[in-house]
Chain A
Amino acid sequence: MRVPVGVKVGAFAVAIMGSYTYFANSIPQIESRPPQELSLEGGSVTPAQLVKAGEEIYTTKGTCEICHRIGQKGTRAPDLAGIGGRAGKTTPGLSAKGYIIDSLLHPGNHVVEGYPNIMPAVDKPPIALNRSELWALTAFLQSLGGTVDVALADIPATAGAGGVGGAAAAAVTLPGDPKAGQAIFAGKGTCIACHKAGALGASPVGPDLSQIARIQTPEYIMKKILDPAGSGTVAGYPKGVMPPMFGQSLTAKEYVDLVAFLLTLK
């Protein structure tokens, strides 16, 4: 039987594409996932926990490892081994933590001789670390040959502000009533049982939310209420404590009011 040309050509083309597809499926499959937000504000975090969180940021969201090595001279950026020890001696008038923080926020001020001025400010998009993350990263860098003494208050209040989400975050305006939301926080929502929000509440069970709107995106806050487990747990706090049923127990209006209240906490 004579096979039509169209069938032969079609089968040939599919075989070619099939082989490319097979190869592409045979190699390691790596996805690029959006980074998780880390919030440490108000939490009682030990230096060890802070350093561990900072190391995680160093290799993931911070993307530091792309250029910097620890214990190995890089061609794009300096070796960070011992940076915690020598940072305090690098720039007169700047402590170790001061030098590290300023280098992260204004890298152009501290370009090491022999290296190009290519490092982006890490609190700005696309890296966009928030204050908690900057705090943890600084602690990790200090731990490389130095003493960890950085506190959240050392990170400038303006750092990371408005970075995440850019235009998308700025565009979010909720029709909720913050006053009614405050009542939900203290009443039906029972948030107050675990969280502190400014003058409201004092429970240490969950993180202090007094500045939550400054360090987190509206999207994160909204998601966290509905899906606490799926939004991650703040370092230093036990997992799985926050109830997952607010999506059912709160009405739509109560939910929007609560979010509107949380967005006032800056």
Chain B
Amino acid sequence: MKPRTSASSQGPRGGRDCAWTVLCTLTLLGLLAALPAEAQEAATEPAYRAFPLIGSRLAVWAVAQLHLNFAAFILGVPIFAVIIEIVGWRTGEGRYDWLSHELVKLTFAAFSTTALLGALLLFLFVGYYPRFWTYMTSIFFPTYWIYALLFFAETFTVYLWYYGWDWLAGPRKWIHVGLGVLSNLFGTAILVVANSWVTFMISPAGITESGALKGSVWAAINNFTWMPINIHRLIANIVFGGTIAAAYAAFRFLAAKTDEERARYDWMGYIGNFVALSAFIVLPFAGYYLGREIYAFNQTMGITMMGGFMSWLWIIQAILIGILFLGSNYYLWLGMERIPGSERYRKYVPPMLIVLTLGFMIWATPRSLVVTLDEARAMGGTHHPVLGVLGVMSAKNTVVNLMILTTFLSYILYRRANKVPTKPWVRTGMAVQWAAFGLAGAVVVFYGVYGYFVESIVRIGFSVYQVVAVLGALVLVMALDIPMFRGARSTGTIRWGTIAPRSQYVLILLAVTFTWLMGLMGFARSGIRQHWHVYGVMRDTSVDAVTPALGYAANVITLVTIAFFALVMFIFWLGGLAEKGTASAHGHAPAPAIAGGRAPDA
């Protein structure tokens, strides 16, 4: 395997990046150290200050969403970057090492922006919501120090990981991989610390009726929604990182001048989408867990979330997730066109498309919604007399599980598109796989229909059986597929770079949709607190205590998402500029060729 040559050639720019990040970290630490004094001052200060022109809430909202977008990206991408690096290390295929380095480079460029936005968010809280921040500090002060120390550890480990790429190559590669793993552990730890603050606001625990900490801060950290959000965010970050990396590759593919470049970025886009899709399939399960814990914490909050003023939000969410499912599958089907031998599986596409489309339509069917009087009169009630029956959770849970199974089938077909298994137990293996799909589908449909005839408290439990059936099928099919196709006869190599350009727009659609969805879910998470900073403990008495309607929220989400992509493109462009400079100045080695599915140095 050829050693990488790019990392150490980043030189002065890398030093500036490092200095920026350390400066941000030091500022953050200084601010945290000053907070106790700030907290005392705040007792005599107003509870709120008004941010000029746009108001304090909008300022905090915009900066928080931007910060979360960047943070999700820099925490999500390294998780699969290190896995890809390990794959490259164990298989000896240089293209994986190149890709891993390319991915870390993307996050690296976004690192200091994330830190700056985090510091800005802190300034906004301290300056414009002093009483709220004082209260949060009274509960969580010890965790601030842990957060700052973790930030230091994360910063230095990531820098060492990135700059040590060449230095720790060859026999010392295991140390380098270890650094990657370590940086991910620190990154995840940062995430869970920050999650304790935000989840405490939703489902406070470990405090007295007047809001004072009862005993250890651990009780406040380990509140109802902390662990579900840790899991949900961790998985969602991987999906997000995958879609952004795939969109970056799509952009480079569309702008490519040579076949070699197109092949390389086609492959990168495929890997990004594969990572996103793999994590995306399990994300709804994490969502169920989170929803269940919200209900367990407070039924009123759960019901307000699902059936109150937010009910339309879930229809928009269903539409977005439906688009993600359809887009991911469409990309796989387009990708199969560049794989010799995939013709065998074309016949499966129409039925899969029907399942996905019907699933999409059912999932997006409204039930008990707030409607205008005219709409209610036209329908003869608050829901449609016929289609309204599909708007309940029984139907929705059923179709989302079937959509997950279908997407998994798409992936399985893509995976075996140019392979013919040669193992003697192929017939049995295939039969078991199809039986697993069929059984899981039957269990899902059975409990979906049965759910109409039982009380809601029983029905809620059925979703667990449906999830277990689907996850069981996923595990069993994969466990058979890997050995069955090991050493399979090839029907031809993948023609990387020949995929239809519209597939690249699908990757961009997925990235934009998922980013927008993150903004929407952020609004939902924050909005369920309604007029409370800390639910049931600290009331929002500011002029912004109203939770805005979805239209307003959508406008904000769109503007912030545009700002995020503009910043990302700018940062990537800057990264590209530095790459061009160093490549010419230092005789930078080209990335390995991907066309034909094999790197020249593999």
Partners in one complex: yes
Which residues of chain A have a CB within 8 Å of any CB of chain B?
Answer: 5-6, 8-9, 12-14, 16-18, 20-21, 23-25, 27-35, 63, 66-67, 75-76, 116, 118-120, 124-128, 162, 164-171, 219
Contact B541 A75 (CB under 8 A): no
Contact A5 B254 (CB under 8 A): yes
Chain B 205-218: CB-based contact to A (< 8 A → 1; otherwise 0): 00001111000000
Contact A34:B531 (CB < 8 A) given known A9-B254, A75-B456, A166-B539? yes
Interface membership of B545, Cβ < 8 A: yes
Contact A34 B540 (CB under 8 A): yes
23 interchain pairs, CB-CB under 8 A: A5-B255, A9-B508, A12-B508, A17-B561, A20-B554, A21-B555, A23-B554, A25-B550, A29-B549, A30-B309, A31-B309, A31-B546, A31-B547, A66-B303, A75-B455, A75-B456, A75-B457, A76-B303, A120-B298, A125-B536, A126-B301, A166-B209, A166-B538
Contact A167 B211 (CB under 8 A): yes
CA A255 to CA B455, docked complex, whole Å: 57
How many Cβ-Cβ contacts under 8 Å join chain A to chain B? 166
Contact B209 A28 (CB under 8 A): no
Contact A31 B549 (CB under 8 A): yes
Q: How far is the CB of A76 from chain B (nearest CB, A)?
A: 7
CA A14 to CA B565, docked complex, whole Å: 10
> Which of A12, A18, A24 has a CB less than 8 Å from the CB of B551?
A24
Interface membership of B152, Cβ < 8 A: no
> Which of B251, B299, B551, B562 has a CB less than 8 Å from the CB of A14?
B562
Q: How far is the CB of B2 from chain A (nearest CB, A)?
A: 30
Contact A32 B457 (CB under 8 A): no
The binding surface of chain B is classed by DSSP as helix
Chain B 422-454: CB-based contact to A (< 8 A → 1; otherwise 0): 000000000000000000000000000000000
CA A116 to CA B457, docked complex, whole Å: 9
CA A34 to CA B569, docked complex, whole Å: 40
Interface membership of B304, Cβ < 8 A: yes
Contact A29 B551 (CB under 8 A): yes
> Which of A18, A23, A29, A120 has a CB less than 8 Å from the CB of B300?
A120
Contact B303 A67 (CB under 8 A): yes
> Which of B509, B546, B557 has a CB less than 8 Å from the CB of A16?
B509
Residues of B within 8 A of A166 (CB): 209-211, 534, 536-539
Q: How far is the CB of A174 from chain B (nearest CB, A)?
A: 11
Chain B 481-496: CB-based contact to A (< 8 A → 1; otherwise 0): 0000000000000000
Residues of B within 8 A of A30 (CB): 309, 312, 370, 549-550
> Which of B303, B530, B541 has a CB less than 8 Å from the CB of A168?
B541
CA A6 to CA B251, docked complex, whole Å: 8
Q: Which residue of A lies closest to B256 (CB)?
A: A5
Interface membership of B558, Cβ < 8 A: yes
CA A29 to CA B298, docked complex, whole Å: 25
CA A189 to CA B131, docked complex, whole Å: 31
Known: A16-B516, A24-B316, A166-B538. 14 other contacts (CB 8 A): A5-B251, A20-B320, A21-B555, A24-B550, A25-B555, A27-B312, A29-B549, A32-B547, A33-B531, A33-B547, A35-B531, A124-B536, A125-B537, A162-B209
Residues of A within 8 A of B537 (CB): 125, 166-167
Residues of B within 8 A of A24 (CB): 316, 550-551, 553-554
Q: Which residue of B lies closest to A24 (CB)?
A: B554
Contact B251 A9 (CB under 8 A): yes
Interface membership of B308, Cβ < 8 A: yes
CA A75 to CA B550, docked complex, whole Å: 28
Contact A165:B555 (CB < 8 A) given known A17-B562, A20-B316? no
Q: Which residue of A lies closest to B313 (CB)?
A: A24
